Amino acid sequence: MGEAAGAAVLAEHRRQAVAQADLVIELPESVAVDLDAGDDEVGAGQRLLAVDIRRDLDAQLIVLHGLHFADDTAGLLQALDINQANVFGISMGGMIALEFVCQHPELVKKLILGCTTPGGRNSVVLGKDAHEVMTSNRKLGLEQFYHKMIPWVFSVDFLAHNPHMGEQWLALQLENPTPDYSYQRQWEATMHHNTFRRLPQISVPTLVITGSEDKLIPPQNSELMAREIPGAKLVMMEGAGHCFFVERAEETNKIIRDFIKNKTD
């Protein structure tokens, strides 16, 4: 296991991952979720690996060479003797998943891209307000930063019917916050992310899924990826926000589980 892979933090689920293969989930801290899945959830009866991205980042490496987090995942699978896996990337984790499948296509069985973007000039970038939320608000301190993000990661309708979920999400973020220097370098990495020209080279079965009310990563990016990746399937969850997998957890689990188990995809 190389130095890059050794920097990845592994959390292995108790029950886990997908019919005759593993499911690797790339989880940036900004969309942290509870992985204690029940019998009806996506990881039930399967081996699930949740990869928390490295935080000891070298700014020059990230900016000049892009998302080398993909090599961390490859090294991790190699160390665990996993020859091939289904890969689910959420938000920044989706960007890593794209780099991973482009750099290591032989390791990917099926690809699931959640609320993410291919980057580059063809993508729809963050609006001014969203950029402010993700950058300047960081100076307010972690609690205020994450608190101000709540209406950006969840849809208005979801928060209106589930006001407690915002506070639960906030508490989850504060349990294991990313240091400021690491957050800044991760942000720089996403700004330099660009896999658009490589999308047509992706040959594995691909599911693209997002919420129609995503305010952080515009859903048009998911439509773009679905058009450019050969044979990709697009699922647009109407009314859901960036954390569609929280707002519509049961539906998300079923869609992903069916996609992975469907041998005709």
* pLDDT, the chain, mean: 77
pLDDT exceeds 50 at position 137? yes
How far is 70 from 93, CA to CA, in rounded Å? 10
How far is 203 from 52, CA to CA, in rounded Å? 26
pLDDT at 166: 92
pLDDT exceeds 70 at position 221? yes
pLDDT exceeds 80 at position 234? yes
pLDDT exceeds 70 at position 248? yes
Give the pLDDT band (50/70/90) at residue 39.
very low
Which strand (E) or helix (H) includes residue 219?
none
What are the tens digits of pLDDT across the range 184-217?
777 777 777 889 999 999 999 999 999 999 999 9
- Backbone φ and ψ for 11, nearest 5 degrees, come out as -120, 115
DSSP assigned state of 248: T
How far is 42 from 90, CA to CA, in rounded Å? 14
Long-range CB pairs of 56-65, under 8 A, 24+ apart, other chains included: 56/7, 56/182, 57/181, 57/182, 57/185, 57/186, 57/189, 58/185, 59/185, 59/188, 62/185, 62/186, 62/188, 62/189, 62/192, 63/188, 63/189, 63/192
Lowest mean pLDDT among 8-17, 50-59, 256-265: 8-17
The CATH architecture to which 3-261 belongs is: 3-Layer(aba) Sandwich (3.40)
- The angle, 0 to 180 degrees and rounded to 10, between the axes of the packed helices 142-153 and 163-175 is 140
pLDDT at 25: 60
pTM: predicted TM-score of the whole model, two decimal places:
0.81
How far is 14 from 204, CA to CA, in rounded Å? 28
Higher pLDDT, 255 or 50: 255
**Once rounded to an integer, what is the mean pLDDT over residues 95-110?**
91
